[in-house]
């Protein structure tokens, strides 16, 4: 079996590694120049994109911001999973909000803005504390602006003055006081069968995910059931095939959807060592029509992103339950260079290992690691 992944980053790389034991050959598309590349070595194939599409059994994506003409071409083959509709929902916050509303799924109060003068109405309706998001091409904190007081409104309008809001509207959300950020990840196959992983607790810094803990600490059965229902409603509503991730805010005993990611997800990397079947394996199983694997956790896991640095002691691998995944990229500020997975028998043991892990790392690049270790 052959799978062609649109996008040639670390997620395609990890799909390749998951495909080998399944006897599945995985190739990637560099969507910037429409070349077919090996997901690990990045060596360019002598096949054209058209030839690779023709020989692939299944087409999929590693991120939602694939140029639309490439998605349309893939969609025509009938081999694209998840569907083009689902991918476009993840790429456009207006489509995403419309879907959540149509399925009666709780999310942050919001307004769609196509004219900067409408920001005054947003303040009147949603309050002075707002987060403003570009409806397309925003991720890891990019394409977002925050307003804490109405006194900042004029300067905010000036900052946004050059945007074409008719082409890319803004989604303006009320800033909520939430208890924590969580995510739910699961897989659905073409027959509508689903498997769902335990909720993960996520800690962000400057708009980027830094640490995930799974199963999330201090988690009730009721909260997990609420998250499972949200996943099932979205996956079935989209007639989804593959792994789907949903980012959530916990406000008291209620979960609100923040974002949808129609793909394998950074907050699911813990599954590589912490679950019976990891998210990459289950994504391939779902899109290839194979039996879905168990999502049972093997202990308590942490995933620590390595962001913008490469200088740290590899002796961290001496810690029990500690594993490193290096993506082979050149160093750049805010760039995800790799991640570290830690598996422990209990939250207490995990917190202790994370504290020991911090001794091997430059903490200026891991600013929330110690606080997360203390919190769990």
Does the structure show a pLDDT above 80 at 204? yes
- Of the pLDDT bands very low, low, confident and very high (cuts 50, 70, 90), residue 375 is confident
If asked whether residues 150 and 75 sit together in one domain, one would say: no
Q: Last residue of some domain: 80, 101, 128? A: 80
- Of the pLDDT bands very low, low, confident and very high (cuts 50, 70, 90), residue 150 is confident
- 63 closest CA partner among 5, 124, 117, 147: 5
- Of the pLDDT bands very low, low, confident and very high (cuts 50, 70, 90), residue 6 is very high
If asked whether residues 286 and 306 sit together in one domain, one would say: yes
93 in any annotated domain: no
- Average pLDDT score over the chain: 96
90 in any annotated domain: no
The 10s digit of each residue's pLDDT in 98-125 is 999 999 999 999 999 999 989 999 999 9
Mean pLDDT, rounded, for 313-320: 97
368 in any annotated domain: yes
- 297 closest CA partner among 341, 254, 338, 262: 341
If asked whether residues 327 and 289 sit together in one domain, one would say: yes
Q: Last residue of some domain: 174, 195, 224? A: 174
pTM of the predicted model as reported, rounded to 2 decimal places: 0.95
If asked whether residues 125 and 69 sit together in one domain, one would say: no
The 10s digit of each residue's pLDDT in 250-278 is 999 999 999 999 999 999 999 999 999 99
291 in any annotated domain: yes
If asked whether residues 147 and 269 sit together in one domain, one would say: no
89 in any annotated domain: no
Number of domains comprising the chain: 3
99 in any annotated domain: no
98 in any annotated domain: no
Q: What is the pLDDT of residue 140?
A: 61
Specify which residues 28 forms β-bridges with: 5, 37
If asked whether residues 132 and 167 sit together in one domain, one would say: yes
- Of the pLDDT bands very low, low, confident and very high (cuts 50, 70, 90), residue 376 is confident
**What's the CA gap between 176 and 186, in Å, rounded?**
26
If asked whether residues 50 and 147 sit together in one domain, one would say: no
Q: Last residue of some domain: 174, 207, 230? A: 174
If asked whether residues 231 and 369 sit together in one domain, one would say: yes
If asked whether residues 39 and 56 sit together in one domain, one would say: yes
If asked whether residues 321 and 242 sit together in one domain, one would say: yes
What domain range is 164 assigned to? 109-174
CA quadruple 174, 178, 183, 189: dihedral, nearest 10: -50
- 299 closest CA partner among 214, 372, 210, 179: 214
Q: What CATH code is carried by the domain that includes residue 170?
A: 3.30.1490.20
If asked whether residues 285 and 153 sit together in one domain, one would say: no
**What's the CA gap between 355 and 54, in Å, rounded?**
50
Write phi, then psi, for 115 (nearest 5 degrees). Answer: -145, 130
């Amino acid at each position: 079996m052959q799978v062609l992944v649109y996008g040639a980053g670390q997620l395609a790389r990890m799909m390749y590694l998951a495909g080998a034991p399944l006897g599945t050959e995985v190739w990637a598309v560099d969507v910037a120049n429409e070349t077919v590349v090996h997901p690990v070595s990045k060596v360019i194939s002598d096949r054209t994109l058209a030839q690779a599409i023709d020989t692939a059994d299944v087409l999929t994506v590693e991120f939602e911001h694939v140029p639309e003409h490439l998605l349309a071409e893939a969609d025509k083959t009938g081999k694209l999973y998840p569907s083009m509709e689902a991918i476009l929902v993840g790429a456009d916050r207006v489509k995403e909000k419309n879907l959540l509303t149509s399925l009666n799924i709780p999310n942050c109060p919001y307004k769609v803005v196509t004219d900067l003068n409408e920001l005054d109405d947003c303040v009147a309706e949603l309050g002075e504390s707002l987060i403003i998001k570009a409806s397309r091409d925003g991720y890891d904190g990019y394409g977002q602006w925050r307003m804490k007081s109405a006194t900042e409104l004029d300067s905010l309008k000036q900052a946004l003055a050059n945007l074409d809001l008719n082409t890319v509207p803004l989604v303006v959300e009320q800033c909520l006081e939430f208890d924590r950020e969580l995510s739910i990840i699961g897989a659905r196959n073409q027959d509508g069968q689903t498997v769902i992983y335990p909720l993960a607790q996520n800690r962000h810094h400057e708009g980027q995910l830094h640490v995930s803990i799974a199963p999330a600490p201090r988690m009730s059965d009721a909260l997990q059931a609420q998250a499972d229902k949200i996943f099932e409603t979205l996956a079935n509503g989209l007639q989804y095939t593959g792994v789907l991730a949903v980012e959530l805010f916990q406000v008291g005993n209620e979960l609100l959807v923040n974002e949808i990611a129609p793909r394998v997800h950074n907050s699911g990397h813990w599954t590589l060592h912490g679950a019976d079947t990891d998210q990459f394996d289950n994504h391939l199983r779902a899109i290839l029509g194979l039996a879905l694997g168990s999502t049972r956790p093997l202990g308590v896991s942490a995933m620590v992103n390595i962001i913008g640095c490469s200088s740290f002691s590899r002796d961290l691998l001496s810690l029990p339950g500690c594993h490193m995944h290096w993506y082979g990229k050149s160093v750049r500020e805010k760039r995800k260079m790799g991640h570290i997975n830690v598996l422990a028998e209990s939250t207490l043991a995990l917190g202790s290992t994370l504290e020991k892990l911090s001794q091997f790392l430059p903490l200026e690049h891991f600013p929330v690691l110690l606080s997360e270790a203390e919190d769990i």
